A and B are shown apart, each in its own frame.
Chain A
């Protein structure tokens, strides 16, 4: 099983739609979880951290399910500017470093 797995997509949705991405991780000892966003040919930027109790930031909601070892990201009321690749990030076997998933591409159309 890969350390961090994501559906590569692309997810094609119209503006205003709600879309959800899942990510699974293999290391049951992982403690830190994040979603990063990467625009085309740009560097990754932190979107949000993922907390055990779940957390929300505006239109974005992140959930963590430790028992099943997966993380989700829900985007409500999608905007054209949400088009990007969303990277699931987990601290892996080497505690001091992060392992990045390959990302899920989202395309929001008018």
Chain B
């Protein structure tokens, strides 16, 4: 079946612009995660959605970052007034259910470059 998809695959934007990154999880997966990975760094947790519960936003680095998940499926990560330090690969993952014992399936990521 189809895996996690993300769009766009690459995004170059000017400092100060807003960007939207999209994630389509695997059908039926109720948990969805956003991470970012900067060059040479590990994955940094950003936000987590589980079903209709309130998202865990504890990893968002600033109030310029927000995310939505509509209808329990597609998710959008929005970065407002982008800064150069936002340049990274943004990875989305989904999981069949809540709980860390479930494997997370990752999408190919969106490579964001802020100039």
Contact = CB atoms under 8 A, between A and B. Distances in A.
A79 interface: no
B48 A97 contact: yes
A53 B35 CA distance: 30
Interface of B is mostly: loop
Given A42-B108, A43-B109, A103-B42, A98 B100 contact: yes
Contacts of B40: 102
A49 B102 CA distance: 10
B9 to A, nearest CB: 11
Interface in B71-115: 91, 98-101, 103-104, 106-109
A4 B43 CA distance: 11
Interface residues of A, number: 22
Chain B contact patch, size range: 20 to 34
B48 A32 contact: no
A96 B104 CA distance: 12
Nearest to B53: A96
Interface of B: 33, 35, 40-43, 45, 48, 50, 56, 58-59, 91, 98-101, 103-104, 106-109
30 contacts: A4-B42, A31-B100, A32-B100, A32-B101, A34-B103, A42-B108, A43-B106, A43-B107, A44-B91, A44-B106, A45-B106, A46-B103, A49-B101, A91-B100, A94-B45, A94-B56, A95-B100, A96-B48, A96-B99, A97-B33, A97-B56, A97-B59, A98-B45, A98-B100, A98-B104, A99-B45, A100-B35, A102-B40, A102-B41, A102-B42
Given A102-B41, A102-B42, 17 more contacts: A34-B103, A42-B108, A43-B108, A44-B91, A44-B106, A46-B103, A91-B100, A94-B58, A96-B50, A96-B99, A97-B56, A97-B59, A97-B100, A98-B100, A99-B45, A100-B43, A103-B42
